[in-house]
Amino acid sequence: MVCIEMKTVRAWSFCFCSLIIVGVPTRAKEVEAELPGWEIEGTLTVDALWNLSGGLRQDEAILGNLDFTAFVDTETAGWWNDGSFFLYILGNGNAGRLPTELVGDVQGTSNIEADETIKVYEAWYAHLFMNGSLDLLLGLHDYNSEFDALEHVGLFINSSFGMSPDISQVGPSIFPTTAMGLRAKVSVGENGYGMAAVYDGVPGNPNNPQGTHIRFDSGDGIFAAAEIGRVSGGEPGDAAYTKVAIGGWLHSADAEDVFGEPIGSNGGIYLIGERNLSERTAVFGQLGKTDGRRNPIAWYVGTGVTWSELVPGRSGDVIGLAVGVAFNSDDFLNANPGLNRSETAIEFSWSAEITKHLSVQPNIQYILNPGQEPGLDNGLIAGFRTILSF
């Protein structure tokens, strides 16, 4: 069993529930065996991070994240062909301060930082048409699970390498709160794809982050997304694997521009790509652009490299180095004189596989110009992530 000391009642509740679920992985496997077509998985992630210098305050932050998922293939289950259900229960807890309260950064030192709660994170049904070339999905859905998504960024803890800040700043259907959406994906030729989606413009209830909320208020508008791309060379672990994609988004929720004036819509575009240089080495790149009058962050640039099995005989280990830079827009700087132009996050991470179900990930991050505030010294964060899967 794995547990961390929590300082609030909600955090203790999260920890207790985590112990219960982690303590019964064998039962989950029994359910899969008894119910063909079912896949049940769980993961408990704990981040222990220390802000050693710079930023707002030198202190520690401990975060817990519980993922529990159930996937059902309706054909294998004996129900009907070409369908699938997915349910994702998410739990979050923390001890003490959050990393952003220590560092003061805008990009997010930990991608599991969230309010303390347990909620339904995703719940959707998908169906295949036209011999599998068209995939339609309806329900609570994480936009970033498919859009603006790369495989090799999964090693890194900083939020920007997963969901780039040019998009996350507008609050779409992403971690830790999703919205109802409809997504369509089509296959184009042997390796190409195109997909589009529309979501409720304001996920959950912004005034109450606890629990699950599905609301359709008059000012929510929509968050619309589209992406086309090409994936070739097999799977992400294959030596010839390559992915490149370009996408765009439109947000019509009630909002204000950087000068406090109401805006009717917001939008941006992005370009992402990754490539395996060999079976052990991979590189990735991210580029995002938004309207500088409507958004504080006008540009984002990210890149990184990962190496696996650097130590002979340790095939489950992965080491990586990544850099992400968020650039303020000219309009935002004019509206907020004195801020720095950009914030840069540099991360070194090493995921070491202890057992098949347990990994420990030492992590170091250096944040230049945290929060773009000239009065804050560069932040140095060190710690580790522990991941227990069952």
pLDDT digits (tens, 9 = 90+) for 48-80: 999 999 999 999 999 999 999 999 999 999 999
Percent of the chain with pLDDT strictly greater than 70: 92
Give me the domain span that covers residue 314: 9-389
Terminal-to-terminal C-alpha distance of the chain = 11
The token pair that represents 188 in the structure block: 């184009």
Burial 254-273 (b: 16+ CB within 10 A, else e): ebebbeeeebeebbbebebb
On whether residue 123 sits in a domain, the answer given is yes
- For 308-354, write each residue's pLDDT tens digit: 988 877 888 999 999 999 999 999 999 999 999 999 999 999 999 99
Percentages helix, strand, coil for the chain (3-state, rounded to 5) are 15, 50, 40
Give the CATH number for residue 153: 2.40.160.180
Q: Is residue 219 part of a domain?
A: yes
Residue 147 in domain:
yes
Confidence (pLDDT) at 27: 53
HSE-CB of 300 using CA atoms within 13 angstroms: 30
95 within some domain: yes
| 125 in any annotated domain | yes
Does some domain include residue 65? yes
Residue 102: CA atoms inside 13 Å, Cβ hemisphere, count?
Answer: 23
Q: Report the predicted TM-score, pTM, of the whole model to 2 decimal places.
A: 0.90
With respect to residue 4, please indicate whether it lies within any of the assigned structural domains.
no
The domain tally of the chain equals 1
Peptide bond connecting 296 to the previous residue in cis, omega within 30 degrees of 0: no
User: Which amino acid makes up residue 147?
Assistant: F
The verdict on residue 341 lying in a domain is yes
pLDDT single digits (tens) 34-53: 789 999 999 999 999 999 99
Helix or strand or coil: residue 386?
A: strand
